[in-house]
Structure 1
Amino acid sequence: MTVPPRLAVLLAAVLLLGGLSAWAVVHAAARAESRGLPRAGEPAAGPGAVTLATGQGRRMLFRTMAWGPHRDEVVSVPADDPGGPRVSSGVRCLRFHASSGTGACLQAEHGPLGDTYRAVVLDARLRERRAFPLAGIPTRTRVSPSGRMAAWTVFVSGDSYAGTNFSTRTSILDTRTWSLQDNLETYRVLKDGRPYHAADVNLWGVTFADDGHFWVTLATGGRTWLARGDVAARTLTTVRQNVECPSLSPDGTRIAFKKRVPGLPEDAPWRLYVLDLRTMRETPVAERRSVDDQAVWLDARTLGYALPGDFGADIWTAPADGSGAPRRLLSAALAPVVVE
C-alpha cells in the first residue's frame, strides 16, 4: 500500500516529535539527577528536628534514596503515615540502625584519593559521639536493645554475598566503655559441638539478643550457619545451617533470615524465612522475590526489607507468620527502624 505524501509527512512529524519528547524527558531526568534535584514521582524531604528519643510518638527513621539535597540522609516519618512528608536530619548514612537513644551510622567520606568509610555512634539527637575508621565498604549494622552495644560489617574485598569471592569484617563496640572488638574472627568457634579452625571463616550480620549475646552468620567451606555469640567468652557456636543475615524478633523467640534455595539463579538465590528458636521450625515468608537484606522487625508480626526500586531501593513488608502478601511500604528508602 502506498502512503499519500501528506500522510507520510504527518507520520514523520509525529515520530520526530515523539522522539524529541522522549529525549527531553530523559535529558531532564539526567540533569535533575546531576544537579541533585528531585525527579518526578520521588518523595521529597525537608529539614527539621529528627530524634531517637522515646516518648515523641511512633516514628520510622530510614535512609532516603530520593534524589535531591537530602539524598542519603536519615529522615523521619510518622509510623502510621509512612508516605507522608519526610523530615530530614542532615546526617548522611549508607547504613543506619538505632535503639534506645543510640544510633549507628556507617558513612562514606569522599576524598581526592577515593572514598574512605567510618562508623559513627550517634546520640538521641543524632549528634556524633565517637567515630571509628572502617576497613571496607559498609554493609550491615545493628544496635542492641538497650542501646549500649553496636555492631557493623564491611566488605574487605568483594561487594556482594551472592558469590563466594568476598571477605568481610565484623566488629562489636561497647558504647559505655568504648571497647572495640575489631574482628569477630578472633572468637573461638564451636561447629557441630567441636572446636573449629579454618582460614576461610567469614562473619556478617549481627543481631543482638542483649548486651552480652548475639546471633550472626558464620560462613566457611562454601556454606553458612547461624551462630550464637557470647561477647564475654568470645565464642561462636553454630546452631543451624543455611542461615544468613539473621534478625531477632522483639520477644527473642524467632529469627528472620535469608535462605539459599536450590534452583534459584546464582545472583538471586535467597528467600526470606522465619525460624522458631524453640521448635527450630522454618516458615517461608510470603515474599517470593530474592531478598538480599537483613530484615527488620517493624513490630512483633511484621518484617521490613529492601528490594531494588526505581530510585535505588524500596522498603517492603510481609507478615512474619507466612500469611498475607508483600506490600511496598516506602519508596526510595533503605535501612528502616521504628522509634517509639
Structure 2
Amino acid sequence: MTRTTRTTGTTRTTRTTRLVVLLVAVVLLGAVGTGSVLHAVHRSGLRDEQQADGPTVRAGAVSLRPTSGRRLLVRNLAWGPHRDEIATVPADDPQGPRTASGVKCLRFHAAAGTGVCLQAVHGALEDTYRAVVLDAHLHELHRFPAAGIPTRARVSPSGRLVAWTVFVSGDSYAGTAFSTRTAIADTRTWAVDDNLETFRIVKDGRTYRAADVNVWGVTFADDSRFYATVATGGRTYLARGDLAARTLTTLHGNVECPSLSPDGTRIAYKKRVRGASPDAPWRLYVLDLRTLKETATAERRNIDDQALWADDSTLVYALPGDYGSDLWTVPADGGGAARTLMTSAVAPAYLG
C-alpha cells in the first residue's frame, strides 16, 4: 500500500511538472508570435510609406482636377502594396512622395477631369481586357470591352473623347506579326467607333484599300480631329483623322505613335532608323506639321512609347528601368540632353 501511494504521488508530481512546462512554453510561443505579428504589421506599415530603394508611396485621395498647382499622374511601378496604381506627384517635384489612388491600370491617360484606364480582368482560363472611363474622382463612369492587350491610351483636351489601342495578336510593334485594334469613344453619348480600320483611308490623294491596314496611337487635336499611325504594305504613315467624315488621310511616312504638341504645330513620334537592330529600331523625332521638317531629339536610345508633351518644348517618355519602366525627358528642339524625370513609373499625364 505504501509503495502504491508513493508511485501515485510521483506520477502526480510528474504530470504537474509537465503541465507547468507546457503552459510556460505556450506563453513564450504566444509572446514570440505576437511580437512577430506586430513586427510584420509595423514593417507593412513602413512599406505603405517607403518602398525599399524607391520612392515614398502613400494611399490617399487623387483627383483629375488638381486644386493646388500642376500635377503629374502616372502608373506607379514601385514595388509594394501600391504597385500598378495611378499615383500623383507635384509636377515640379516628380521624385517626391507619391499619393496612390487604389485604382490599378495597365495604361492610363487623363485630361480635363476625364480619365481612361485600360485594365486586365484575370479569369480562370484566360485574361480579358477592358477600357474604363473615369470621372474626376477616379470613379467608373462606363466600361467598354477591349479586344486584346492594352498598349496606348489618350483623352482629348476637352475630356470628351477617349481612345485606346490594343494588340489583337502579337505583343510588340518591333516585328510584323501583330495586329492592333483602335477605338474612340464619346463620353457624353457613349457612342464608340470600335475599329478605326473601318474609316476611309486617303493615301496620295486617293481612297486606299488593303487587307493589312493597322491603325494605332491616337493623339487628339480637338473633339473632331486627331492624328494616328496607319500601317500598310510594310510601311507606316502619320495620318490625320476626321471623326465626322470618318476618314484617315496620310501626311508623312515612317511615323509611329504620334503625339501632338499643346500648340498643335508639331508631332513627336518614334521613327525607324537605318542600321538599328530589328529589336530596337526606333529613335525619338519631332515633325513640324507646316513644313514637314523632321528633327531628331538628343535621345539616342530605342524608344518604344508614345511620348507626351510636358509643355510646348519638352517631351516625356518611358524607357526600361529596374522595376519595369522609368520616365525620361528631353527637349523637343534637338538640343540639350536626356535626363531621368521619375523612376518606377509609366503612362504619364499632366493636369493643370
Q: 8 Å contact 1:272–1:287 — kept in the other structure?
A: yes
Distance apart, 1:134 and its partner CA = 0.6
Offset of residue 41 of structure 1: 1.3
* Count of residue pairs the alignment pairs up: 307
Q: Distance in 2 between matches of 1:86 and 1:254?
A: 31
- Deviation, 1:56, is 3.0
| Alignment-derived partner of residue 328 in structure 2 | 316
CA gap of 1:124–1:37, structure 2 versus 1, over 3 A, is closer
Separation in 2, partners of 1:56, 1:257:
31
How far apart, CA to CA, are the structure 1 residues paired with 2:168 and 2:56? Answer: 34
Aligned to 1:190: 202
Please identify runs of 4+ aligned residues in structure 1 that moved more than 4 A: 35-39
**Contact 1:54 / 1:100 at 8 angstroms: preserved in 2?**
no
- C-alpha distance in structure 2 between counterparts of 1:261 and 1:176, whole Å: 41
Q: Are 1:64 and 2:59 an aligned pair?
A: no
User: For residues 210-225 of structure 1, what are the structure 2 equivalents within 5 Å?
Assistant: 210-225=222-237
Q: Between the two proteins, what is the percent identity of the paired residues?
A: 69
Q: Is the 8 A contact 1:37 1:67 kept in 2?
A: no
Aligned partners of 2:49 and 2:123: how far apart in 1?
23
Tell me which residue corresponds to 1:147. 159
CA distance in 1, matches of 2:84, 2:52: 18
In proportion to residue count, which structure has more helix?
A: 2
**2:247 pairs with 1:235:** yes
Is the 8 Å Cα contact of residues 316 and 328 (structure 1) preserved in structure 2?
A: yes
Classify the secondary structure of the residue corresponding to 1:298: strand
Structure 2 contact 48–57 (Cα < 8 Å) conserved: no
Aligned match of 1:4: none
Aligned equivalents of 1:118, 1:240: Cα separation in 2: 32
Pairwise CA distance, 1:110: 1.2
After superposition, give the CA deviation of every residue in 1:14-53 in whole Å (9 maximum; x if it has no partner). Answer: xxxxxxxxxxxxxxxxxx9xx9997631223110111011
The answer for unaligned runs of 5 or more in structure 2 is 1-43
Q: Which residue of 1 aligns with 2:24?
A: none
From the superposition, tell whether residues 37 and 338 of structure 1 become closer, same or farther in structure 2 (CA, over 3 Å): closer
- Give 3-state SS (helix, strand or coil) of 2:197's partner: helix
| In 2: Cα distance, 1:255 partner to 1:39 partner | 36
Moved more, 55-64 or 138-147: 55-64
Cα root mean square deviation, aligned = 1.5
Q: Tell me what 2:217 maps to.
A: 205
Distance in 2, Cα, partners of 1:311 & 1:168: 26
Kept in 1, the 8 Å contact 2:51–2:57? The answer is no
Do residues 330 (structure 1) and 342 (structure 2) align?
Answer: yes
Give the corresponding residue for 1:19: none
User: 2: CA distance between counterparts of 1:90 and 1:55?
Assistant: 20
Q: Is the 8 A contact 1:38 1:67 kept in 2?
A: no
Q: Is the counterpart of residue 170 in structure 1 residue 187 in structure 2?
A: no
Match of 1:296 in 2: 308
Pick from 65, 72, 80: which aligns with 2:92?
80
| Structure 1 residue runs without a partner (length 5+) | 1-31
**What one-letter code is carried by the residue in structure 1 that aligns with 2:214?**
N
Which residue, out of 57, 73, 96, partners 2:108?
96
- Separation in 2 of the partners of 1:155 and 1:330? 27
Q: Deviations over 1:201-227 (max 9, x none)?
A: 000000001000100000001100000
Q: Matches of 2:349 and 2:303 in 1, distance apart?
A: 18
Q: Secondary structure at the match of 1:185?
A: helix
C-alpha separation in 2, matches of 1:124 and 1:39 = 27
Aligned: 1:307 with 2:319: yes
Letter in 2 for 1:169: R
Per-residue deviation at 1:137? 0.2
Larger radius of gyration: 2
